[in-house]
Amino acid sequence: MDNPTLAKSAQPGLGNLIPKPVSVTATGDTFTLTAATDIYVEPATAELTAIGSYLADKLRPSTGYGLRVLPAAGVRTRGNLYLTTQGGDPALGEEGYYLAVTPDLVILVAYQPAGLFRGIQTIRQLLPPSVESSSPQPGPWQMATGTIRDTPRFVWRGIMLDVSRHFFGVADVKRLMDLMALYKMNIFHLHLSDDQGWRITINSWPNLAPHGGSTQVGGGGGGYYTQADYADLVAYAQIRYITVVPEIDMPGHTNAALASYPELNCDGVAPALYTGIEVGFSSLCIGKELTFTFVDDVVRELAALTPGPYFHIGGDEAHSTNPDDYTRFIERVQTIVQAHDKQMVGWGEIARVKLLPTSIAHHWHSDMARVAAQQGVKVIMSPASRTYLDMQYDASTPLGLHWAGYMSVEDAYTWDPATEVAGLAESDILGVEAPLWSETLQTIDDIEFMVFPRLPGEAEIGWSPAAGRGWDEYRLRLGAHGARLAALGVHFYPSAQIDWQ
Ligand code: TNX
């Protein structure tokens, strides 16, 4: 090359990965993906073939290559990608992987299939950003050589989408699942009910979805998922090694349910549907036995559709529930959730109640997380000022709220789960989740604008070791993801804190 500076900057590197891997060793050469490259899986089970196909599907449109997914047979041949669980080190755990890139081969090894799925996200990120384009691109498709050994810090690396304040259809949820997968996230928490909308069919209470789901914030048509839609989302998540966590918020945030069934109200009168954004005015009627029949039916139907071990019962902002009733209610709901073979998750407020050791407290703003940990219960960290993706970036952001403050890309990155709440130890923490409340959001573009580019930072906080990560170098890595997000068609917020490439 005539221009050595250009040649150098055009060299692929190992340094722009998000989340940052645990250990990386560069060997200074390149591997090139060509029209002859295939993806071999070993053993060639349906599960590993599906992982190979996921990678091939991502790489085919831009490269135009065939990228067949084939069973590996003994000798490894030059120019190909190998995905294998054979000889995978058990120390890699459920999601860890080991990647070796040489000029001849790319070999990805994991102990479990989930680790291969996380590892193929690293392969995607080692290729040029234009590889994510949905139309043919010129290449060349080079990857830097070296080795990466990588395992997650936390088992819970989640996003939450509020489909109640505004409804988002199956395609929007799938889009978000696919984007989070690129950043190795593994929990999708669906906030399925609130005052403004009930968003899932419950066969034993058939009015809930058609009536309770018929509107949303600001009025308008709302919507809901059929049980087949929900099963479709769960299956889509499973292929991405994402666990769906359904939330039915109770005993507060229940106006949509109360509006659908007069008999659920203490006075027997159904309130009108609600399209505002106030909180804390609704409550299930704790004195009525029918309330617990209702909860049992809803939990049973949703638990049966949910393969993951968790069921989120909300429990937040029950300002219209008498405190003694609240305690009685949560204690009983906890046994109902357990009877349907799920672990109960609830927002921080549930720590006021005697919790089962398997229950999980979801920290958002108070010091209840410490109370939960003192009970021996694990905690999910969603501090509002650091993780609430509905907070405006700054005062000029056209969407979002700011009750927890403005949350810049830097604010969303420069915190640590283990030091956020005094009195919590790392071992008390299950992981990190970034909730997206949707009072102000109506379209998938709105979602993408609030989620990106803050989500990659939350993903890194959940995955990467605390030591070795810092804003000054992270902002450079994130800058290199601008072209990648653009190639994916993501409508991201072009924060001025980042030098976008
Ligand atoms: C608080 S976080 C809420 C939600 C709102 C959100 C808006 C939590 C458990 N409750 O009901 O949508 O703030 O940021």
Q: Is the pLDDT of residue 370 over 80?
A: yes
Closest approach atom of ligand 1 to CA 317: 10
DSSP state of 426: G
Percentage of the chain exceeding pLDDT 90: 95
Task: Give the residue, by CA position, lying nearest to ligand 1 atom 14.
Answer: 437
Distance of alpha carbon 149 from alpha carbon 99, whole angstroms: 7
pLDDT band at 289 (very low <50, low <70, confident <90, very high): very high
Per-residue confidence (pLDDT) for residue 11, from 0 to 100: 62
Closest approach atom of ligand 1 to CA 279: 11
For the stretch 223-263, pLDDT in tens is: 999 999 999 999 999 999 999 999 999 999 999 999 999 99
317 catalytic? Reply is yes
Task: Give the residue, by CA position, lying nearest to ligand 1 atom 6.
Answer: 437
Task: Give the residue, by CA position, lying nearest to ligand 1 atom 11.
Answer: 279
Q: Which residues of 390-406 are buried (b: 16+ CB within 10 A; e: fewer)?
A: bbbbeeebebbeeebee
Question: Which of the residues 317, 331, 410, 420 is marked catalytic?
Answer: 317
Percentage of the chain exceeding pLDDT 70: 98
Which is higher by pLDDT, 124 or 1? 124
Structural tokens at position 174: 């799938």
Task: Give the residue, by CA position, lying nearest to ligand 1 atom 12.
Answer: 437
Closest approach atom of ligand 1 to CA 435: 2
Average the pLDDT over 68-80 and give the result. Answer: 95
Average the pLDDT over 5-22 and give the result. Answer: 74
Q: Is the pLDDT of residue 154 over 50?
A: yes
Pairing of strands 23-33, 97-101: unpaired
pLDDT band at 5 (very low <50, low <70, confident <90, very high): very low
- Rounded distance from Cα 491 to ligand 1 centre (Å): 24
Per-residue confidence (pLDDT) for residue 2, from 0 to 100: 37
Distance of alpha carbon 294 from alpha carbon 333, whole angstroms: 11
Q: Is the pLDDT of residue 57 over 70?
A: yes
Beta-bridge partner residues of 362? 347, 380
Residue 19: asked if its preceding bond is cis (omega within 30°), the reply is yes
Nearest Cα neighbor of 194 from 297, 82, 279 is 279
User: Tokens 């359904």 appear where?
Assistant: 246
User: Tokens 């970036």 appear where?
Assistant: 393
Q: Is the pLDDT of residue 381 over 50?
A: yes
The pick from 164, 278, 279, 368 for probing ligand 1's pocket by mutation, whose C-beta has the most ligand atoms within 8 angstroms, reads 279
For the stretch 337-360, pLDDT in tens is: 999 999 999 999 999 999 999 999
Distance of alpha carbon 387 from alpha carbon 455, whole angstroms: 9
pTM recorded for the entire structure: 0.97
Q: Is the pLDDT of residue 1 over 80?
A: no
For the stretch 209-225, pLDDT in tens is: 999 999 999 999 999 99
Nearest Cα neighbor of 266 from 325, 327, 316 is 325
User: Tokens 């109360």 appear where?
Assistant: 258
Task: Give the residue, by CA position, lying nearest to ligand 1 atom 13.
Answer: 437
Closest approach atom of ligand 1 to CA 388: 14
Per-residue confidence (pLDDT) for residue 7, from 0 to 100: 38
Distances (CA, A) of 74 to 39, 71, 85, 86: 14, 10, 14, 12
The pick from 192, 316, 407 for probing ligand 1's pocket by mutation, whose C-beta has the most ligand atoms within 8 angstroms, reads 316
Amino acid at 338: Q
Per-residue confidence (pLDDT) for residue 468, from 0 to 100: 87
Helix, strand, coil distribution of the chain in percent, nearest 5 = 35, 20, 45
- Rounded distance from Cα 83 to ligand 1 centre (Å): 42
Pocket of ligand 1 (CB under 6 A): 279, 316-317, 347, 364, 388, 390, 401, 437, 439
Average the pLDDT over 74-98 and give the result. Answer: 96
Q: Is the pLDDT of residue 4 over 90?
A: no
